Chains A and B, each alone.
Chain A
Amino acid sequence: MYVEETLYLTVRELADRIRTGAMSPVELTESYLERAKRIGPRWNAFALLTPEIALQDAHAAQLEIRAGHYRGPLHGIPYAAKDLLAVRGIPTTWGAKPYATQTFDYDATVIVRLRQAGAILLGKAAMIELAGGMGYRYASASLTGAAKNPWDTSCWACGSSSGSGAIVAGGLAAFAIGTETWGSIICPAAFCGVTGLRPTYGRVSRHGGMVLCSTLDKIGPLARSAGDCGLVLAAMAGHDPLDSSSLSAPEAAFSWPQTIPRGRPLRIGWVTEQMKDAQPGVVAAVDAARRDLESAGHKVKEAKLPAGPWEPAAAVIIAAEGATAFDQLISSGRCLELADPSSQVGGFVGQQISGADYLRAQRVRAVLQQRMAELFRAYDILLAAAQNFTATKLDANLETELSGADPLGAIGNLCGSPAVSVPCGFDSNGRPVGLQFLGAPQADAMVLAEAEFYQRNTNWHRKHPPAV
């Protein structure tokens, strides 16, 4: 078994050891599985572990690598997938009681692509029921209970990819796959002190993933560094005819690492209106990060977001599309089996949104896209806190105890823009703070390169919770 510190190495570091034979994929998989079995249940991090499949794949990877057939940096690397991604023959519960015994006879495209890259699936990461699509009031809105934050187990990991965040932060896998419709990669990355990438809409196929909101859903990695996110994205990205939103092959293709040519200092827009209600500890950490980037030669200037009802538009689109995606569940009344009181009835309200209001929201969205294209002529990247607050208590009433707008989250998701959250410090309670880099659609490489640049010059991403 490898020691705990080894399990916190980055994918790149693990890959170097595996490629040279210094590390065994089988032993690495066994080590993560042992830790996941021992600690995972305490944190409600996994929905399901699949040790037999994992060990079988790890043995196959080891044989292949020893025979000289090294596939690349994910070969032999153990990971977890959010429990809304179909894996043939094993339960895919969508985090919800009505789907507790659901199985599929096919794999999601991302599962196939990660397998082709040689990654080892350890199991399914816990999640908020239906990815929060019906709304929720408590962190316990999940078939598997509230996912605890490894930094402070009295706190939440943040949904809906809460299990994915807890798994990476707790050293239970080298990386995990999450999804985001609005906030579900960026928030757990920030709360859990890990790096999360929300890729450009359409770059990663959603085929085989639970549909919540087809015009907003995205799949992306949570990992220990921006570089690791780039490696995982490179394996997952690409056109897929099975996903109608998939970008064309040249647009969807992604390789990593990339060198971004620079003819001038990067123009960074500092979005203060995103951080109006930020906690002091968050402000201090992100301000320090901004100064670090300025010291490195970047031009950081305050950026003003376009005015408009972007958050209402995103909310209406998600509610209406979610209500149609789960129409049968809602119409049959089986939504009342969900765990959370707001989840139980939220779908009824979503069903009542008119077609006219939904289309109005989509028209507003198109106006926003034009305005953001204008803004990105002046700035290469927008920078702000990933969340205005650090991890909340497990029993918090999220409808009353969390407040504050998230214009950048709404705008970024409505426009299909890529964003990365990286750890940039801690508050006075020792809870992680996240810094968000947001780029124009297709600027995945740029946001990752800048996040990686930041991480080359800081060590926040190297910190992990105390030994368990």
Chain B
Amino acid sequence: MARATRRKNSATTLDKRAGGVTRREFARQAAAAAAIAALPGNIALHEKRAAALAGAPEASLHPVPTLPQETAGSQPKLSAEALAEAEARSAEILRRYGAKLTEEQKADVRRLAREAQVPLEALRRFPLENKDEPATVLRVVGTRPVTAPVAAGGRKPAGKGA
């Protein structure tokens, strides 16, 4: 009985933290899940999912500014703030690499940068607490084994306990 109670309490806490049970939030998460494809490296198929839901009305997070012509109609809908961040990212890429890119590649960069914004927004909305550590932790190396000090003559010093 105590175990069941603990579980129930735990589940309640988790649901609150998720903040993902409302219809609106569900729609946001669906949009985020759909847009993960924008980011490279999903390996099998995942980067291809963005386009499918990107145009869905329920995937809209905020009023949507008009997108540049070359990709309109195939882009995730972003808030003005999010779009500005994505455009800044594109601009930085083009500043650094633009001289090496064709116009088609530049358009791809802009599209991918905008698609990449959606999962970032989803992550930032997820409530975390100060105590939530990252899944990567430091494993110390070069430690010395702890041994009991040995007295002169090879005998352990007298002490309490075994």
Contact A316 B123 (CB under 8 A): yes
Q: Once the chains are docked, how many angstroms separate the CA of A316 from the CA of B109?
A: 17
A251-291 Cβ-contact flags toward B at 8 Å (1 or 0): 00000000000000000000000000000000000000000
Q: Closest approach, in angstroms, between the C-beta of B112 and any C-beta of chain A?
A: 5
Residue in A160, A316, A371 whose beta carbon sits within 8 Å of that of B119 in the complex: A316
Q: Closest approach, in angstroms, between the C-beta of B79 and any C-beta of chain A?
A: 16
Q: Closest approach, in angstroms, between the C-beta of A60 and any C-beta of chain B?
A: 36
Q: Closest approach, in angstroms, between the C-beta of A313 and any C-beta of chain B?
A: 6
Q: Assess whether B158 is interfacial by the CB under 8 Å rule.
A: no
In the complex, residue of chain A having the shortest beta-carbon distance to the beta carbon of B21: A307
Contact A312 B119 (CB under 8 A): yes
Q: Assess whether A295 is interfacial by the CB under 8 Å rule.
A: no
Contact A311 B97 (CB under 8 A): no
Q: Assess whether A363 is interfacial by the CB under 8 Å rule.
A: yes
Contact B37 A399 (CB under 8 A): yes
Q: Report the interface size class on chain B.
A: 35 or more
Contact B40 A406 (CB under 8 A): no
Q: Assess whether B155 is interfacial by the CB under 8 Å rule.
A: no
Contact A184 B44 (CB under 8 A): yes
In the complex, residue of chain A having the shortest beta-carbon distance to the beta carbon of B17: A367
Contact A345 B109 (CB under 8 A): yes
Question: A135-B47, A352-B93, A398-B45 are known contacts. Are A342 and B40 too (CB-CB below 8 A)?
Answer: yes
B-binding segment of A34-42, A67-75, A353-361: A353-361
Contact A312 B36 (CB under 8 A): yes
Contact B112 A345 (CB under 8 A): yes
Contact A314 B36 (CB under 8 A): yes
Q: B48 contacts which chain A residues (CB < 8 A)?
A: 137, 398-403
Q: Kindly identify, within residues 104 to 139 of chain B, every residue whose CB is under 8 Å from any CB belonging to chain A.
A: 104-105, 108-109, 112-113, 116, 118-120, 122-126, 128, 132-136, 139
Q: Once the chains are docked, how many angstroms separate the CA of A359 from the CA of B90?
A: 22
Q: Once the chains are docked, how many angstroms separate the CA of A367 from the CA of B17?
A: 10
21 chain-A/chain-B pairs, Cβ below 8 angstroms: A133-B41, A187-B45, A307-B20, A308-B29, A308-B126, A309-B119, A309-B126, A312-B123, A314-B46, A319-B40, A323-B40, A336-B100, A342-B47, A342-B108, A349-B39, A349-B109, A357-B124, A398-B47, A403-B34, A403-B48, A407-B33
Chain A residues proximal to chain B, CB less than 8 Å: 128, 131-137, 158-160, 180-184, 186-187, 212-213, 215, 244, 306-309, 311-316, 318-319, 321-323, 333, 336, 341-353, 357, 359-367, 369, 371, 374, 377, 387, 398-407, 409-410, 414
